[in-house]
Structure 1
Amino acid sequence: MPSDNFKAAALMTGSMAGYTFNDACMKVLSATMPLEQAVFLRGVVTCVLLYVLGRYLGTMRFNLSRREWKLIGLRCVGEMGATYCFLTALFHMPIANVTAILQVLPLVIALAAWAFLSEPLGWRRLAAIGVGFVGVLLIIQPGAGFSVWSLYALAAVVFITFRDLVVRKLSPETPSMTVAIMAAISITIGFGVASVGVEWAPVDGLSASMLTLAAFFIFLGYLFSVMVMRVGDIAFAAPFRYTGLLWALVLGLVLFNEWPNDLTLIGAAIVVGTGLFTLFRERKAARQ
């Protein structure tokens, strides 16, 4: 029988695959459908799937305090900003490049938690974060190889960091499923309103298939990320979140004939390496 840690690692890998396959489906849609329309239609299906899952698990409730609703509202703002910036970058950049930039998230969140929430951060992790930012510079390549769309990916990192700092303020009694479905609803409504100002594209068979697959994959990503919290050691499973970059490299090559240049690959390796080191130091600090 597989150990709990093996199951947790497999679920984390599956979660990253779900999110990355969703990204690939959305990138396919970028050729035929406006961003606002694609996110709105995907959101409708995602909301239904999350609601069914929440009812099945019995982990949704909405009788929360005003403080919790205010924090959930702030988190939804961060979620909408992150969705817009990330997908805008994805629609115009290779999927592996965008995913590589997002690998800096654990470093940025650790730095922001230290700066704004007074969470401890030793000099070793600070040094690793500095090295990680050098890796990001190699990925975005300021200068001749720079793309303005990289700024959208970096903005997505800022919005996700804000979102995750807000989550740390939520009460442990607030169900994660409630938070997730409210984020999905806010994104769907927000992009639905925005889509009124754009010309909708006809939804043919390919578009409908991609939208359905995107909603299904993002649902799987969330489902597996919830399940991974319930088995094994999360510190053991956490490094497997970087498998998302491997999925992005494979999908970029197979579906879009994209492959990052050498500097991007070196930068991605630096970011992943420093992220793994930071996770190792956090685990060691937690033991102490």
Structure 2
Amino acid sequence: MARSDNLTGALLMMASMAAFTLNDTMMKMLAGEIPLFQLLFLRGVITSVLVGLLAWRMKALTLRLPARDLKFIGVRTVAEIGAAYFFLTALFNMPLANVTAILQALPLTITLTAALVFKEPIGWRRLSAILVGFVGVLLIVRPGAEGFNSYSLYTMAAVAFVTLRDLSTRKLSKETPSMLVTLVTSLAIMIFFGLASLMRDWVPMDMRASTLTLGASLMIIGGYLFSVMVMRVGEISFIAPFRYTGLIWALVLGWLAFGEWPDPVTLAGAAIVVGSGMFMLYREAQLGLVERRAQIRESRRLR
């Protein structure tokens, strides 16, 4: 029996989340062993070469870009560098599942920022879901509590940078190839952290460290590739909720690789964040259906 587009999209989304989480796990396994800037530079070299080959095969290497897109690519690149630094710094100092749980607030922050900056409409239901979701984030972070980890603030900074990155991506025109944007980002990370790594002594890497770095590079490329492929099949309203499987991967890999398991309050906060995001996706799907029905009625009326 042929697989439906929705099922294919769901599988690609889960594969993307698995690849990104495996990348995070491998990078975290090198924490305290290899300096962060050295790791990001080496991963950037491998990633840039492989992404460059993919972009070439996909005929995405072009200099003919709309002028307005250059500005958004620049903003997106700066945001990606900031996200990489803050996210991995937090990851090296916090449990994998905690960092991943806070990142699940991204649909909430993107929707809220789009409403504030781009004046996109947002109803009271979605606004309520955003506020409830932020309560869940506070339960995970717990500022002022005895077990508070200051690196939680780094994760929240990473969320802010990723929000800026994704909103900049949304403003890109269709004429700009996704793989070209990915290549530019990878090259920028490689160059920035390569220069930053010169300010510190490099550490020799053994076979284990080299294998983990290569594995992380392959996983992040897989994550990028699957995330591009997933946008080309199925219905977004059906596929998008499967992004939360990343939290399941983080829980399992954090337990297997590091013996970490979040406490009940953190798990409750994560459940609230995921529940809020799922409700928002449901509302957006409903609103999209209403809009499509209105367009169909209008087209029939004009015939």
TM-score, normalised via structure 1 length: 0.98
**1:165-190 Cα deviation digits (max 9, x unpaired):** 21222212111111111111111111
Q: Is the 8 A contact 2:140 2:266 kept in 1?
A: yes
- Counterpart of 2:91 in structure 1 is 90
- Counterpart of 1:181 in structure 2 is 183
- Counterpart of 2:295 in structure 1 is none
**1:61-93 Cα deviation digits (max 9, x unpaired):** 222133221211111000000000000000000
Query: Which AA in structure 1 matches 2:140?
Result: I
Q: 2:153 aligns with which of 136, 139, 151?
A: 151
Structure 2: gaps (5+ residues): 291-303
Query: Which AA in structure 1 matches 2:222?
Result: L
Q: Is the 8 A contact 1:26 1:210 kept in 2?
A: yes
Q: How many residues align?
A: 288
Query: Is the partner of 1:145 in helix, strand or coil?
Result: coil
User: How many angstroms apart in 1 are the aligned matches of 2:95 and 2:172?
Assistant: 35
Q: Based on CA coordinates, which of the two structures has the bigger radius of gyration?
A: 2
- Counterpart of 2:300 in structure 1 is none
User: How many angstroms apart in 1 are the aligned matches of 2:231 and 2:160?
Assistant: 25
Q: 2:212 aligns with which of 210, 213, 229?
A: 210
Q: 2:258 aligns with which of 248, 256, 259?
A: 256
The Cα of 1:230 is off from its aligned counterpart by 1.6
Say whether residues 1:16 and 2:17 are aligned partners: yes
- Counterpart of 1:128 in structure 2 is 129
- Counterpart of 1:70 in structure 2 is 71
Query: Which AA in structure 2 matches 1:279?
Result: L
**1:237-269 Cα deviation digits (max 9, x unpaired):** 100000000000000000000000110000000
User: How many angstroms apart in 2 are the aligned matches of 1:4 and 1:67?
Assistant: 33
The Cα of 1:101 is off from its aligned counterpart by 0.3
TM-score, normalised via structure 2 length: 0.93
- Counterpart of 1:241 in structure 2 is 243
Segment of structure 1 superposing worse, 221-230 or 5-14:
221-230
Say whether residues 1:278 and 2:255 are aligned partners: no
Q: Is the 8 A contact 2:65 2:175 kept in 1?
A: no
Query: Which AA in structure 2 matches 1:108?
Result: T
- Counterpart of 1:115 in structure 2 is 116
User: How many angstroms apart in 2 are the aligned matches of 1:182 and 1:279?
Assistant: 30
User: How many angstroms apart in 1 are the aligned matches of 2:184 and 2:229?
Assistant: 19
Query: Is the partner of 1:203 in helix, strand or coil?
Result: coil
**1:114-158 Cα deviation digits (max 9, x unpaired):** 000011111000000000000000101121121100000000000
Query: Is the partner of 1:29 in helix, strand or coil?
Result: coil
User: How many angstroms apart in 2 are the aligned matches of 1:269 and 1:60?
Assistant: 42
Query: Which AA in structure 2 matches 1:283?
Result: A
Q: Is the 8 A contact 1:62 1:178 kept in 2?
A: no
